[in-house]
Amino acid sequence: MKKKIFVLDTNVLMHDPSCLYRFEEHDIYIPMVVLEELDNGKKGTSETSRNVRQVTRILDGLMHGKDHAQIEKGIPLPTTVNKGTNGNGNGHTGGTPTAPSSGRLFFQTRPSAAALPEMLPGNKPDNNILLAALGLQSQHPSRTITLVSKDINLRIKAAIVGVHTEDYHNDQVLDDLDLLYSGYAKLPDDFWTTHGEKMDSWQDDRGRACYKVSGPKVKEWHVNEFLYLPDEVERGLELTVQALDGDSAKLHVIRDYRAGKTPVWGIHAKNREQNFALNLLLDPDVDFVSLLGAAGTGKTLLALAAGLAQTLDEPRYREIIMTRVTVPLGDDIGFLPGTEEEKMTPWMGALMDNLEVLTQTSNAGDWERAATNDLLSKRIKIRSLNFMRGRTFLNRYIIIDEAQNLTAKQMKALITRCGPGSKIICLGNLTQIDTPYLSETTSGLTYVVDRFRGWPHGGHVTLARGERSRLAAFASDIL
């Protein structure tokens, strides 16, 4: 198989600074206009600007000690020793470059001899990248020239002028969103028949009914995954996987927070998935919780109710910190007057709406409501993501709303802020991604759901049913 030549768009380098090491034995070509765009984007404190500076340092390191003749022949690209996976089992190259590979890095050292098609007038950077790719096709007719870009419009234009193009897939966590871990699984109807005879049962120190089961099905489960029998079988038994040991698992019955049972700050779970979520949110042994779901499934309401119950009713946490992505992430949050919290207030409509639900009482007067709001304002802090780097949160209950707009790198930077005694909750809807060049399969929220699967102190639930109102539920389905 002949080596391919991959022409990289600027947004690929901005998105993944280590992409230069991801193309194995194939060659990489960087047009001059890409270097110009990198130079224009190097200033600032945003994640993109940091990535640009990292790319520039990598290129400088690769070119160190090379003269013009060596650059013309192509700079040998290092590869890496360790192999990782991108979440779906496909191997990719990652880590620190060590040994040389057969791939080379080429720069545009002379003007392209290709002519720009009449359908692409002007001197836009995208057109110059296309011009460079067309020039390579004329210089190397026997080799496959592929333009790699995360810009859909550029890929469309490339296809029109006859340049083969691809999206950058190395950052993709899953091939298909349907493969994403949901956090729960249905047990077979004959579960008691096939497992009842060889099942041990007891009560733990919290008074929960526990079971130890064995069998081939156990290998498909994960720690903190929820298991349930249908409502018509055994009254809808709901369990969670507490520990795994080979082909045996330790399960315990979860607490029921539905109507008529124990309330959480005055609310009840309205469906099975919400009950799963409340069990994770209220479990002191779980430090990380991710909740996925469409609009109206109750993500923010459940997270806030559980946080208030553990901050005010029982002093497990000192305060609740709530933040969300202000798209575009990393830029100034605006020249609004006031403090950081006051500037973030316009972005926190979801918080205010849910606090109104949690604090409304039919017989409370204006004074009682004002006193409650004053108390909550002292225990709930609104913070901007822009100022999270370098901080450490101790004994805090942290809610990250709209987490689907974070990249994997940004998600890592936020989660590593948690100190002892803190709990972090990531909420999001993967169908509402606003950050450029992020998709459902490359979102940082998808990344952490996949990577935290099976960790004893982490859990995930995908909320399936909307409970906001019958109008909202119907609109979500039909529109």
Residue 1 banded pLDDT, cuts 50, 70, 90: low
Phi, psi of 151 (to 5 degrees): -90, 110
Alpha helices in 87-220 (DSSP H): 125-139, 152-161, 191-195
- Same fold yes or no, 181-253 and 273-478: no
Where does the pLDDT of residue 81 fall: very low under 50, low under 70, confident under 90, or very high at 90 and above? Answer: very low
**pLDDT above 70 covers what percent of the chain?**
82
Contact predicate 191/185, CB 8 Å: no
State residue 196's pLDDT score: 57
d(CA 71, CA 110): 12
CA distances from 223 to 161, 424, 455, 475 (A): 51, 18, 6, 36
* Residue 446 β-bridge partners: none
User: Are 280 and 442 spatial neighbours (Cβ–Cβ below 8 Å)?
Assistant: no
Instruction: Return d(Cα 78, Cα 91) in angstroms, integer.
Output: 17
pLDDT of residue 83: 38
Separation in Å, CA 325 to CA 288, 384, 388, 426, 427 = 19, 8, 12, 11, 11
- Give the pLDDT score at 95: 44
441's tokens: 């399969």
Its sign, for the CA torsion 432, 435, 440, 446, is negative
For residue 257, CA distances in Å to 29, 273, 313, 375, 393 come to 58, 11, 16, 25, 29
Quick: pLDDT tens for 398-428. Answer: 999 999 999 888 899 899 999 999 999 999 9
Would you kindly state where each structural domain of the chain is located, as residue ranges?
5-166, 181-253, 273-478
Say what percent of the chain tops pLDDT 90.
Answer: 49
Q: Which residue has the higher pLDDT, 337 or 26?
A: 26
Q: Give the model's pLDDT for residue 446.
A: 95
Span 181-253 CATH architecture: Beta Barrel (2.40)
- Dihedral of CA atoms 424, 425, 430, 434 in degrees, nearest 10, equals -70
In terms of Cα–Cα distance, which of 4, 22, 129, 140 is closest to 77? Answer: 22
Given a cut of 70, is residue 333 above it in pLDDT? no
In 3D space, the residue among 402, 400, 408 whose CA is nearest the CA of residue 434 turns out to be 402
Beta pairing, strands 209-214 & 200-203:
antiparallel
Q: How do 288-293 and 226-228 pair as beta strands?
A: unpaired
- What is d(CA 5, CA 20) in angstroms, rounded to the nearest whole number? 12
**Amino acid (one-letter) located at 184:** Y
| Alpha-carbon gap, residue 472 to 313, rounded angstroms | 32
Question: Amino acid identity of 68?
Answer: H
Summarize pLDDT for 138-171 with one digit per residue, the tens: 999 999 999 999 999 999 999 999 999 999 988 7
Please choose, from the candidates 413, 418, 414, the residue with its C-alpha nearest in 3D space to the C-alpha of residue 396.
418
Structure confidence at residue 345 (pLDDT): 65
φ and ψ of 412, to 5 deg:
-60, -45
CATH architecture of 5-166: 3-Layer(aba) Sandwich (3.40)
Given 3.40.50.300, 1.20.1260.10, 1.10.10.10, 3.40.1010.10, which CATH number is that of 273-478? Answer: 3.40.50.300
Cα separation, 296 vs 473, whole angstroms: 8
Amino acid at site 421 = G
Band of residue 247 on the pLDDT scale cut at 50, 70, 90: confident
**Encoded tokens for 9:** 């768009």
Which residues lie closer than 8 Å to 478 by C-beta, 6 or more apart? none
- Secondary structure of residue 389 in the 3-state scheme: coil
